[in-house]
Amino acid sequence: MKKILVSECLYGGRIVRYDAGDVAERDPRFLKWKEEGRLVPICAEVFGGLPIPRPDSQRVDDKVLTGTGADVTAEYTAGAMEVVRLAKLNNVAFALMKQDSPSCGSRFIYDGTFTDTKIPGQGLAVELLRNAGFKVFSEEDLDAAEVYLNALENG
């Protein structure tokens, strides 16, 4: 059975999101994968030592900053490195990550102005996962993730 790395905020059960909110995925395919024991939940930001709740942060060039300008790049980097380590350790087939996050965004992130403006880009954990050779999808790409998983399992 192929394993899937997943943003813990999508997995549900334990609150890890920056605002302590609930964004657990409820798509039947996701719930089936969860029930099958395929999902390996991770939270790069918690792995990096950041609290819950924590200040909203966004990628600004090569840094990750809070809305007040505090540099949390080191924490995000440490967490992203742990995510890659766990992806390798668990031999995951791919990752399913929370869109728009400064750690987990796979196609879009916020632009660093804290004005709710999204731009094409990727979160730091996704960047490191892709650099390590992992395929990454977002919760908005469940159709593609399902096709990819079926292709891996059925040749």
Specify whether the CB–CB gap between 18 and 55 falls below 8 A. Answer: yes
Write the pLDDT tens digit of every residue in 40-53.
Answer: 999 999 999 999 99
Side by side, the strands of the sheet bearing 4-7 are 39-42, 4-7, 94-97, 136-138
Nearest to 146 by CA among 43, 25, 41, 21: 25
Specify whether the CB–CB gap between 99 and 34 falls below 8 A. Answer: no
Q: Rounded to two decimals, what is the model's pTM? A: 0.95
Q: pLDDT at residue 155 above 90?
A: no
Write the pLDDT tens digit of every residue in 83-120.
Answer: 999 999 999 999 999 999 999 999 999 999 999 999 99
Beta-strand ranges (E) seen in the chain are 4-7, 39-42, 57-60, 63-66, 94-97, 108-110, 118-120, 136-138
Between the CA of residue 150 and those of 70, 107, 146, what are the distances in Å? 43, 22, 6
Pairing mode of beta strands 57-60, 63-66: antiparallel
Range of the domain at 113: 4-154
pLDDT of residue 81: 99
Number of folded domains that form the chain: 1
Q: How many Cα atoms sit within 13 Å of 27 on the Cβ side?
A: 15
